[in-house]
Amino acid sequence: SQTIHQWPATLVQPVGSPLSLECTVEGTSNPNLYWYRQAAGRGLQLLFYSVGIGQISSEVPQNLSASRPQDRQFILSSKKLLLSDSGFYLCALTWDRETQYFGPGTRLLVL
Amino acid sequence: RKEVEQDPGPFNVPEGATVAFNCTYSNSASQSFFWYRQDCRKEPKLLMSVYSSGNEDGRFTAQLNRASQYISLLIRDSKLSDSATYLCAVNRGAAGNKLTFGGGTRVLVKP
């Protein structure tokens, strides 16, 4: 079965600092990969999705970017964090019909 | 109108009772639907998929009403461990197998 790894689990960063969150996948090949953000007490917001290496689609204009340098690696980045970037960042994949499975997430606090 | 809407709750449920709640969606082209369970500070975990009129898994039953554009989740014989937030997700029917999530319904099962 497929496994999603995300790290770090928790991150505290100052405003204006850069960000790099990594998601790696095991047990499947050529998955669709997704980055979501969940603000405190809010629903899941799709940020980016990727159907293959180097293919990134952005859902919401913001100061975040994503890259997929390898089939099983998905990276979320920012050059300068804002307070509003705080939240729970979740990586997800689909490998079959449509069902999405989530990784353990990274909790980001921007101060 | 939001694409996917849920009553945020909380639904306070006596242990052993039955609870049901709905999720309404606005995109009539959606063909697949999902219920996820999310525990506090954890990632969402798939509870069940709903592709046709409904689905049943043990004490959990999901039903789809296409005419009124809602799906429901019913939990029978509620256990304390059923306390969680239940997220509804709707496939957008577009490329990328993207899902739109509702804000979640919080369920609290009490002894």
Please give, rounded to a whole number of angstroms, the shortest distance from the CA of B23 to a CA of chain A. Answer: 13
Which of B3, B9, B60, B66 minimizes the C-alpha distance to B35?
B60
Q: Is A1 on the interface with B (CB under 8 A)?
A: no
Compute the count of residue pairs across chains A and B with CB atoms less than 8 Å apart.
49
User: Tokens for A3?
Assistant: 């496994």
Q: Which of B23, B36, B86, B97 to mutate to test the interface with A (most CBs of A within 10 A)?
A: B97
Nearest chain B residue (CA) to A88: B41
pLDDT value, residue A97:
67
Q: For the segment B61-76, what is each residue's pLDDT rounded down to a tens digit? A: 999 999 999 999 999 9
**Angle made by CA atoms B35, B101, B16, in degrees to the nearest 5:** 35
User: Tokens for B85?
Assistant: 């937030």
Q: What are the per-10-residue average pLDDT scores of chain B (111 residues)?
A: 91 98 92 94 94 89 94 98 97 82 96 96
* Rounded-to-integer distance, Cα B48 and Cα B19, Å: 17
* Rounded-to-integer distance, Cα B44 and Cα A88, Å: 11
Mind listing the pLDDT tens digit of every residue in chain A (111 residues)? Answer: 889 999 999 999 999 999 999 999 999 889 999 999 999 878 899 999 999 999 999 988 688 999 999 999 999 999 999 999 999 999 999 977 678 999 999 999 999
Q: Is A95 on the interface with B (CB under 8 A)?
A: no
User: Tokens for A90?
Assistant: 């979740």
